[in-house]
Structure 1
């Protein structure tokens, strides 16, 4: 900035020439400078006041507008905001193959208390103990009068209980919206459903998460908002599942069994139509996990998937099928069944004496251990292992249950020639009923491996070929003759040509060394209709005893087979299978040709 001098030389000289005082010029310049400074200061102050006034005006406009909006809105209680990520409350439904509800959601409420807001804690504790008998009045009173500012009282309450609590009139008792998982069919398919619990919880919402079964396996899918709450469709058929469980429960009681399992599977698509395990539980009130020592006796234990058993003679058809596929034998090939068959210090015997020779077909029909073991010797350990690996007996199944992931068949520690012989008739290798069902599906569908699934499929699986179609056809005929002529005679169902194989295996001791003398695992693996199989049904009973005769009978032919036959008779019409009944001979009518 250029400053004007207070005593400019030119004006001083002119003033002296005119006889004027130079000091007057300086005073005049000082006065003008002060006036200029005052004017600039005033302009600056006026600008600041204008800006401040504009700010105050804007603030008053915003506050006035907000007050007007609040005055015009409906009164509402302030909502507490949850900490962290938003809780996902909505969970998709689960339905069966026909769209019928297996699991859905029910709106309910949680009850919580804020003691600082309570007016009469004593009355509140007394009334709550009356409404909820499982609550302790003294403990509630201690919580209400202590230092706690918040506490949950009930995570789920009914509408009637909510109204009763509301009638107490205590402002410190509050309700939070909840979404409860509901299984309207109760225990039905409980081991498939699994169950849920509350995960992250807030005052206004709680996340429902799966703890077992398909609920846990598909947890992210069921909670994913991108799915638009579309229901998860399973392969189960609700009516078939109900019929299977009812007959299985009756058979388990009739045969005095400790437990039971059943798997019904489509041989082409791999769909599991029903899967039952007894004893079972209600997923609406899922029990606690049992001690590790009694896990196998818990109703939470899924015997069809987690139970790994020696399944006995049901394995014999695999040995016969491999022998036929390798060209080692045909159904009419004579097999040496003279016994006992000795290997070192061990002996292999048959249930009864079948003579010195049987055809391969008769070895399966009569269920000869010796004949099957001799066929296995011809196959050899390496080829036998490859075949069972192709059938899926070396790995866990990929069924969509969290329980299935870690269940791997128990294989011989050293696959010797003796192991080859014992595995051929179902001893020395332990597998689940689900593994067995998948293996029989491969035998029944023409020789292609199928993978069990709980999801509905619209087309058959095109799995790798394990055996030829000719071998599959021969094996199916053998299984049919087991029912019509062999050990599964009680398995014949009029109108539905049932084929299958029995298996009775001694139950191992709890120590793992040796076997019980009077406890068995009885299994019947069946296919129907045998001429064009659509389904495989595996029924397993744990420690069955049939007591209608003079002596107790434990073999599968007397225990598991009748139960499976009754199941097939009930479910075949539900599956849409029409009975194929041959007409009987009409009395006193002779057919003659023209």
Structure 2
């Protein structure tokens, strides 16, 4: 900046020549300088004022626009978000096929302590022990009076318990909000749902993880935010499930059984409407698993899926159906049933001596071991194994439960003639009731493979054709005769055309051999027989019922069959199945001629070894 001098020499000299006062020149220049400084300061002040005014206008304009936007939007409850938290606590609901809630979330609180902030640690320990009887007052006292700075007291508690803790007035006891998994129906469908527990957790949130059942099988899906909270819809019907468990529990008590399982499944879709295993548990208070002993002694054990049982004579349908399909026999074919039958050093007997010959239908009706073995010999070992494998009896079921792989059937490594014989009537091979339900559904579904599922309306590829529709129809007609005049007469419920097969198998000893007074009784049924829609399996573990004339009976016809009949009476109205009171028994096609002799190498001829 160039400053103007106050006393310029040229002007001073000229002023003196004219006789003027030089001080006036200095005064004038000083005045002009002051005026310039004042003008500059004024302009600077005006610029600052304009800048401040612009800032105020922008700020108040932004606030006004935001207030206008909020006023025109829908009101919502504000939520606090912690960007640094990695815990996802939200979990989708689980519902039945009608949308009724089976599992949901409930906001609750956890209780934790900062012992260093406590005023009366001993009093706090005593107060908590009164509120929560399961807590150890001595241990709490040691923890509160020690060096610990943080400790969990309760992961979840009721509102009443929270208020009681609050009334203690202890500043070192603190609450943290979190979600917990709730099963509003208690024990109902407990084995299907499985249960849940806490994973990663903090004082203000916790991660809910599935620990068993569909909760664990679909854990990732249930926790996926991309699903926008959509529920997982199961195929089970809550009303049917509850009724099944009630009837099954009564039957288990009456039959003095150690355990029981039942499955009701749609033939066409494989969807399970109800599946029960007893004893059961409350998933809201899931018990600890057994670490020693027999796993089936634990209420957590799912007998329907994990149980590996020799299912006895219910397997007799399989060689009969396969022989019908291959046209080796027809329902009226005569089969040599001379007993006892010898295979090497082994003898095979029937429960009664049924004579030298029986029809294929009567072999099922009277449950002849010898007759079934004769038919299996006509098939041959390889064809027998191939058919059982196609029915899914060698692999775990594809049910959507983490327990499914543990229920893989126990299949013999070697398959000599005696194994082929015993497998034909359900001994020497162990499978779950769910495997049996799937196999019977396949036969009832015009011979097309059915795979069980717990998910409602899931699109799945059509199963392969395992059996011809004609053989399927004949097999179901023969099963109907078992109920009408055979070992399952107590399952007859007027109007519902129940067709089924009983099976009684002795339980194997851990060290080899079989118990004489312990067995598994099973009844596998299809109804209505004229147009199969449902498969019902009932299995009782170690049942025993007193006969009217004295003594005890452990056979399926006296134990599992009456329970199945009662289940049909109770469940049929709930699933919308109306009785057909003008039922006519199906007849067999006498023109369906058998091929008597098997091909070379297919099996053993029907001649009893002496």
Q: TM-score, normalised by structure 2?
A: 0.81
Deviation track 1:364-410 (CA, whole Å, cap 9, x = no partner) reads 11111111100100100000010001000110001011001232111
Match of 2:257 in 1: 257
Q: Say whether residues 1:516 and 2:531 are aligned partners.
A: no
Deviation track 1:343-370 (CA, whole Å, cap 9, x = no partner) reads 1111111111111111111111111111
Counterparts of 1:422 and 1:337, CA distance in 2: 15
Q: Say whether residues 1:92 and 2:98 are aligned partners.
A: no
Structure 1 window deviating more from structure 2 (108-117 vs 366-375): it is 108-117
Counterparts of 2:216 and 2:344, CA distance in 1: 49
Counterparts of 1:206 and 1:264, CA distance in 2: 37
Offset at residue 489 of structure 1 (A) = 0.4
Deviation track 1:324-358 (CA, whole Å, cap 9, x = no partner) reads 11111111111111111111111111111111111
Match of 1:312 in 2: 312
Structure 1 window deviating more from structure 2 (180-189 vs 167-176): it is 167-176
Note the residue ranges of structure 1 that are not aligned, 5 or more in a row.
1-60, 70-78, 585-594
Match of 1:451 in 2: 451
Match of 1:32 in 2: none
Offset at residue 295 of structure 1 (A) = 1.1
Q: Say whether residues 1:573 and 2:573 are aligned partners.
A: yes
Counterparts of 1:423 and 1:108, CA distance in 2: 54
Offset at residue 81 of structure 1 (A) = 6.7
- 3-state DSSP of counterpart to 1:317: helix
Structure 1 window deviating more from structure 2 (289-298 vs 249-258): it is 289-298
Match of 1:197 in 2: 197
Q: Say whether residues 1:541 and 2:540 are aligned partners.
A: yes
- 3-state DSSP of counterpart to 2:426: coil
Q: TM-score, normalised by structure 1?
A: 0.83
Residue correspondence of structure 1 range 412-451 to structure 2 within 5 A: 412-451=412-451
Deviation track 1:111-156 (CA, whole Å, cap 9, x = no partner) reads 1111233333333233222222332334323322322111111111
Match of 1:371 in 2: 371
- Whether the aligned pair in 2 keeps the contact of 1:507 and 1:521 (CA below 8 Å) is yes
- 3-state DSSP of counterpart to 2:407: coil
- Whether the aligned pair in 2 keeps the contact of 1:269 and 1:459 (CA below 8 Å) is no
Match of 2:299 in 1: 299
Note the residue ranges of structure 2 that are not aligned, 5 or more in a row.
1-54, 64-79, 585-610
Offset at residue 256 of structure 1 (A) = 0.7
- Whether the aligned pair in 2 keeps the contact of 1:82 and 1:203 (CA below 8 Å) is no
Match of 1:38 in 2: none
Match of 1:145 in 2: 145
- 3-state DSSP of counterpart to 1:129: helix
Are the structure 2 counterparts of residues 132 and 458 from structure 1 closer, same or farther at C-alpha, using a change threshold of 3 Å? Answer: closer
Match of 1:323 in 2: 323
What is the alpha-carbon root mean square deviation over aligned residues? 2.2
Match of 1:557 in 2: 557
Q: Say whether residues 1:360 and 2:360 are aligned partners.
A: yes
Are the structure 2 counterparts of residues 135 and 292 from structure 1 closer, same or farther at C-alpha, using a change threshold of 3 Å? Answer: closer
Counterparts of 1:414 and 1:461, CA distance in 2: 33
Offset at residue 461 of structure 1 (A) = 6.0
- Whether the aligned pair in 2 keeps the contact of 1:311 and 1:505 (CA below 8 Å) is yes
Match of 1:155 in 2: 155
Match of 1:185 in 2: 185
Offset at residue 294 of structure 1 (A) = 2.5
Match of 1:395 in 2: 395
Q: Say whether residues 1:120 and 2:120 are aligned partners.
A: yes
> How many positions carry a matched residue from both structures?
510
- 3-state DSSP of counterpart to 2:400: coil
Match of 2:468 in 1: 468
Counterparts of 1:130 and 1:203, CA distance in 2: 23
Are the structure 2 counterparts of residues 168 and 522 from structure 1 closer, same or farther at C-alpha, using a change threshold of 3 Å? Answer: same
